[in-house]
A and B are shown apart, each in its own frame.
Chain A
Amino acid sequence: MARAFKASRKGLTCQLEPAERELLRNLFADVITLLEPETPAHADPLAALIGLDMDVSEPTDPALKRLLPNVVNDDDAAALEFRQLTERSLRETKIGALRAAALSLESDKIVLTGDAPQHWAMALNDVRLVLSERLGIRTEEDSERVHALHDWSQADDVDSYLGLVYNFVTWLQEGLMQVMIDQLPDVADESWLV
């Protein structure tokens, strides 16, 4: 049985069963596969360098679109133009976090330091976004319906299995967020200015 993340002198630690680590490894790998660009980096070295991608289009897979949303509503041309400039590097950011999280699964005891907690938070969140699309979670009611699933012995179809996986990842992320929030510095209200 997994134990939630907690803060220790070494970093944020968490104990997972081998089967749970394997599950997370597969989930991270699935989302990485989903995010890997369909076309290779642009042949023009300058375009490749700045991440420009003129071949990009709005994703047709709703899960991928949830990971790579439009930056403006009601203006497809502007959204596409922004996508050409930014989507490739956004994919790389997400893949980077997922790969980093997958790497820290290699050891029996998970110990997260430096940027690793944030990579984990982002990776778990992206996994949940993809699972939620597959589960059809569109409203708070849908979310509660899935949340009510808790008995692995009743996982007799794909949806209830995916729902239990979703709940496990949610539980893991929620525990991680509590520890990460505890470690945020107190900020005075004057520093709202961005």
Chain B
Amino acid sequence: MSASTIEASTLPATEEWTGIEVHTEPDTPWVLLVWNDPVNLMSYVSYVFRSYFGYSEAKAQQLMMQVHQEGKSAVASGTKEKMEAHATAMHGFGLWATVSHDGANEGSNG
């Protein structure tokens, strides 16, 4: 049955429909931070960045070295939900990752 066969009178009064409130937050990036620890192998961290995020070898290496030398690195940014999903994936790999809103927790960087 196509929509056109429905009598207009059977449809709800559209003028009372208030619509769904859409909360758009285009300019509020969240970041995924990966933290250094003395256990995870540099080769493993680099492998995870390449295989999970699809980063190039150079990009993965750069992020891995930043984690190692500066204690942490923001390895991805985007919506809260997406960063949380990434964090769970990182925890699955055994990497120590947190999500952070717009640079919070980044004060000690450098």
Specify whether A and B are partners: yes
Query: Quick check: is A44 within 8 A (CB to CB) of the other chain?
Result: no
- Chain A, residues 162-187, CB within 8 Å of chain B (1/0): the string is 00000000100110011011001011
Cβ contact within 8 Å between A71 and B98: yes
Size of the A side of the interface (Cβ < 8 Å), in residues, is 43
CB pair B56 A191 closer than 8 Å: yes
For B89-110 the 0/1 string (1 means CB < 8 A from A) is 0011110111110000100000
| Selected contact of B57 from candidates A143, A170, A187, CB within 8 Å | A187
Q: How many A-B residue pairs have CB under 8 A?
A: 99
A121 engages B55 (CB within 8 Å): no
Closest to B89 in A: A93
Query: A73 and B38 in contact (CB under 8 A), knowing A187-B50, A191-B56, A194-B78?
Result: no
Q: How many residues of B are counted as interface, with CB atoms below 8 angstroms from the partner's CB atoms?
A: 34
Min CB–CB distance A84 → chain B (angstroms): 13
Partner of B96, one of A69, A126, A180: A69
Highest count of chain B CB atoms <10 Å: which of A67, A139, A187: A187
Task: Tell whether A90 pairs with B92 under 8 Å between CB atoms, given A71-B98, A189-B58, A194-B78.
Answer: yes
Contact A129 B44 (CB under 8 A): no
**Which A residues are CB-close (under 8 A) to B44?**
121, 125, 173, 177
Q: Which residues of A contact B67 (CB under 8 A)?
A: none
Within 20-71 of B, Cβ neighbours of A (below 8 Å) are at 38-41, 43-44, 46-47, 50-51, 53-59
A residues near B91, Cβ cutoff 8 Å: 67-69, 71, 90
Query: A: which residues have CB within 8 A of B?
Result: 66-74, 82, 86, 90, 93-94, 118, 121-122, 125-126, 128-129, 132, 137-140, 142-143, 170, 173-174, 177-178, 180-181, 184, 186-189, 191-192, 194
> Known contacts A67-B94, A138-B38; can you find 6 more A-B pairs with CB under 8 A?
A71-B98, A125-B93, A125-B94, A126-B94, A174-B41, A180-B47
Interface residues of chain B, those whose CB is within 8 Å of chain A, are: 38-41, 43-44, 46-47, 50-51, 53-59, 76, 78, 82, 84, 86-88, 91-94, 96-100, 105
